[in-house]
Chain A
Amino acid sequence: MLKLVANNTIVSEYEAVPGRVTSGPHGPKPRRILSRRNIVVYGTLIVVALYYLLPLYVMIMTSLKGMPEIRIGNIFAPPVEITFEPWIKAWAQACTGLNCDGLSRGFWNSVRITVPSVIISIAVASVNGYALANWRFKGADLFFAILIIGAFIPYQVMIYPIVIVLREMGIYGTLTGLIMVHTIFGMPILTLLFRNYFAGLPEELFKAARVDGAGFWTIYFKIMLPMSLPIFVVAMILQVTGIWNDFLFGVVFTRPEYYPMTVQLNNIVNSVQGVKEYNVNMAATLLTGLVPLTIYFISGRLFVRGIAAGAVKG
């Protein structure tokens, strides 16, 4: 060791200890950015991402072209001449077979359906989930089990009896009726969501509040609600997208003048009269998808949580 020091005076004795010399592997393992693994992983993901993005891209491109350009060009090519005419037409003039005032009518119908449905269904289900989680009573679990199993029954099985019930109540074909239907079919998943969330809160909090003398509603409003904002947002995302995207209930339970946007969109695009205006169709399709897409891009992670919870709804 002394010799080593003598031969190389710059190297201190400590650094010269055998095994500490700087030959051989040392320090961080070198990583190549273009390793085979990275090429496979990122390559696959990028190809897949392009596949997912393609339809959106084509939709946007088509909606910005004039019909002549569509007839001669290819759907992937960006528009030579950008025009917003199709969007205006889709919103205000497109024909559904019944009338020609575009999607705007359907949009406002959907707003008038979605807003109350979301509020009512969440209010009902959150209180119910809270009762199930914290104030259990005999028989509650049985009804809850029926509710959850019911979530798997195809809607087609229950549609007609509901038509009869709504007709008897005099609200068949109205927005009120449809709002009620959305509240009913939102109940299984929302109740499950809220029940599990409230059951996951520390039980001792609930006990402490009871020792403090708070009752059913005081605990719900003063203790549970302020702690549960994230789950309410999740439920809202779930319901807004679900109800906005609904087609079946809209077409079954409302009269044409109350048709939601999805039904109207389908009627515009698949109407057999007249010349097909693909640019207007794509603009209309984009318009209909805009609300859930906006919610999706804004809410990000919460949306993932919402659909993971709401996936049962299908």
Chain B
Amino acid sequence: MTSVSVRDLSLNFGAVTVLDRLNLDINHGEFLVLLGSSGCGKSTLLNCIAGLLDVSEGQIFIKDRNVTWEEPKDRGIGMVFQSYALYPQMSVEKNLSFGLQVARVPQAEIDKRVARASEILQIQPLLKRKPAELSGGQRQRVAIGRALVRDVDVFLFDEPLSNLDAKLRSELRVEIKRLHQSLKNTMIYVTHDQIEALTLADRIAVMKGGVIQQLADPMTIYNAPENLFVAGFIGSPSMNFFRGEVAAKDGRSFVQVDGVAFDVSAYPARAGLQPGQKVVLGLRPEHVKIDEAAAGDAAHQAVVDIEEPMGADNLLWLTLAGQSMSVRIAGQRRYKPGTNVRLSFDMGVASIFDAASENRL
């Protein structure tokens, strides 16, 4: 059963196209993350779903009801904003109940809902305070509570954690996930932070230029990115890309890059590779191994340029085939700059893209 459905949605501001014939179906109870860098249209899409922006073309359905022209309050949504957007002159309790009072919900019912929301979010001691007297984390909890009391099916989050410091962000991330597991509402969550996206989402929609680039579960997005943009956007540090040409020799397939041959015989979609085809080979830093025993065609010599110890693991920047690449080494083994190392690659989890279309092969 779909909860929110977006059909051929376009939005233009004058000559600028912000959303371009976008389609998206979100299942009931699903946690969907809209991920992209700023200006990709993710917040715009969310605002369209909320009814805060008028669309230029297309339709929006919530619970199979066409809400394209409906007011935000009539859409059955609750929304949480990046800046919390708490009404500064009202106490926490007033903030929570304002929407219900506007809708003329009976006072007894208001009290009941406020009590329930503040219990779920553990903000009962804060009810009499003003927003200015709260910490960032508490404010965001109240903002979530405001969506909660509305008793709606769809929660919209517009970068809710971006204004918080790193520690609070990871704490609240867990809380939002716990909230979703207990409430089982549909949640649409906009962020530019891929960690939030990967950790929270049932499915991620990666957006760029007003278009969804890939819509899939986090592991698929991470392991099998649909195109070069998604591959480069997800993962930190980014996937290493090598531009080269497909070659075949002795029944094995290779990608030739600047005199270095990468054996890609283990690539799952090897059959789709045509000799002579221009491709981009993508290797995540953790799919490269430093392997002193490697020999033959699989062996590649590289020199360590820079070492970045991260604690749990160690990030090395090497030069291979005339370009810089990153390698993630588990553990705390140190490498001095200038050290020669041998590398081997896990081609079974590599990605290969057509150089022209930039799509996955």
Q: How far is the CA of A176 from the CA of B51 in the complex (A)?
A: 44
| Docked CA distance A204–B80 (Å) | 9
For B73, what are the chain A residues with a Cβ–Cβ distance below 8 Å?
Answer: 210-213
Contact A207–B102 (Cβ < 8 Å): no
Q: Are B83 and A204 in contact (CB under 8 A)?
A: yes
Task: Scan B93-107; emit 1 where CB is below 8 A from any A CB, else 0.
Answer: 000001100110000
Q: Does B146 contact A (CB under 8 A)?
A: yes
Q: Which of B84-92, B165-173, B229-237 contacts A (4 or more CB under 8 A)?
A: B84-92
Q: Known: A204-B81, A204-B82, A218-B102. Contact between A209 and B87, CB under 8 A? A: yes
The residue of chain A having its C-beta at the shortest distance from the C-beta of B149 within the complex is A212
| B330 interfacial by beta-carbon distance below 8 Å | no
Specify which of A204, A212, A218 lies most central, judged by the most chain B CB atoms within 10 Å of its CB. A212
Please tell me which stretch of A46-54, A83-91, A222-230, A245-253 contacts chain B, meaning at least 4 of its Cβ atoms lie within 8 angstroms of it. A222-230
Using Cβ atoms and an 8 Å threshold, which residues of chain A touch B148?
none
A161 located at the interface, meaning its Cβ lies under 8 Å from any Cβ of chain B in the complex: no
For the complex, give the distance between the alpha carbons of A202 and B158 in Å.
14
A227 and B83 within 8 A (CB): no
B285 nearest CB across to chain A (Å): 37
Q: Does B50 belong to the interface (CB within 8 Å)? A: yes
Given contact pairs A207-B50, A207-B52, A208-B146, A213 touches B85 in the complex (Cβ within 8 A) = no
Give the A-B pair count, Cβ closer than 8 A: 62
Contact B98 A212 (CB under 8 A): yes
Decide: B85 and A202 in contact? CB cutoff 8 A. Answer: yes
Is A214 an interface position by the 8 A CB rule?
Answer: yes
The size of the chain A interface, using a CB distance under 8 A, is 16
A233 within 8 A of partner (CB)? no
Which residues of chain A come closer than 8 Å to B143, judged between CB atoms? Answer: 208
Residue of B nearest to A201 (CB): B88
Q: Are B89 and A227 within 8 A (Cβ)?
A: yes
B282 at the interface (CB under 8 A from A): no
Q: Contact partner of A208 among B51, B85, B103, CB < 8 A?
A: B85
Q: Is the CB of A211 within 8 A of B50?
A: yes
With A and B bound together, what is the CA distance between A209 and B90 in angstroms? 13
Contact (Cβ within 8 A) B82 A212: no
A207 CB to closest chain B CB (Å) equals 5
Residues of B within 8 A of A209 (CB): 87, 98
Q: Which of B78, B81, B84 has the most CB of A within 10 A?
A: B81
Residues from chain A with Cβ under 8 Å of B81 in the complex: 204, 207-208
Contact B52 A212 (CB under 8 A): no
CA distance A5 to B99 in the complex (A): 77
**Contacts A207-B50, A212-B102, A218-B102 given: A223-B83 contact, CB under 8 Å?**
no
Q: For residue A208, which residues in chain B have a CB less than 8 angstroms away from its CB? A: 79, 81, 85-87, 143, 146
Q: How far is the CB of B189 from chain A (nearest CB, A)?
A: 16
Q: Does A123 make an interface contact (CB < 8 A)? A: no
Nearest Cβ distance between residue B75 and chain A, in whole angstroms?
9
Cβ A211 vs Cβ B78 within 8 A: yes
User: Which single residue of chain B is at the shortest CB-CB distance from A222?
Assistant: B98
Judge if A205 is at the interface, Cβ distance under 8 Å: yes
- A211 to B80, alpha carbons, bound, how many Å? 10
CB distance from A15 to the nearest CB of B (A): 40
Instruction: Report if B207 contacts A (CB, 8 A).
Output: no
Answer yes or no: B137 CB below 8 A from chain A CBs.
no
Q: Does B77 contact A (CB under 8 A)?
A: yes
B72 within 8 A of A: yes
Beyond A202-B83, A205-B87, A227-B88, whether A211 also contacts B77 by CB under 8 A is: yes
Contact between chains at B146 and A212 (CB < 8 Å): yes
Q: Decide: A211 and B72 in contact? CB cutoff 8 A.
A: yes
Residues on A with beta carbons closer than 8 Å to the beta carbon of B158: 204
Whether A205 lies near B85 (C-beta < 8 A) is yes
B71 — which chain A residues lie within 8 A by C-beta? 210, 213
- Chain B contacts of A205 at CB under 8 A? 85, 87
Chain B residues with Cβ below 8 Å from A214 are 98-99, 102
Distance from A211 Cβ to chain B, minimum over Cβ atoms (Å): 5
| Min CB–CB distance A287 → chain B (angstroms) | 40
| B89 cross-chain contacts in A, Cβ below 8 A | 226-227
Given A210-B71, A211-B50, A213-B99, 10 extra CB contacts under 8 A: A202-B83, A204-B83, A207-B72, A208-B146, A209-B87, A209-B98, A211-B73, A212-B99, A214-B102, A222-B87
> Could you list 25 examples of A-B contacts with CB < 8 Å?
A202-B85, A204-B158, A205-B87, A207-B50, A207-B85, A208-B86, A208-B143, A208-B146, A209-B98, A210-B52, A210-B72, A211-B50, A211-B73, A211-B79, A212-B98, A213-B72, A213-B73, A214-B98, A214-B99, A214-B102, A218-B102, A222-B87, A223-B87, A226-B89, A227-B89
3 tightest Cβ-Cβ pairs between the two chains A and B: A212-B99, A213-B73, A204-B85
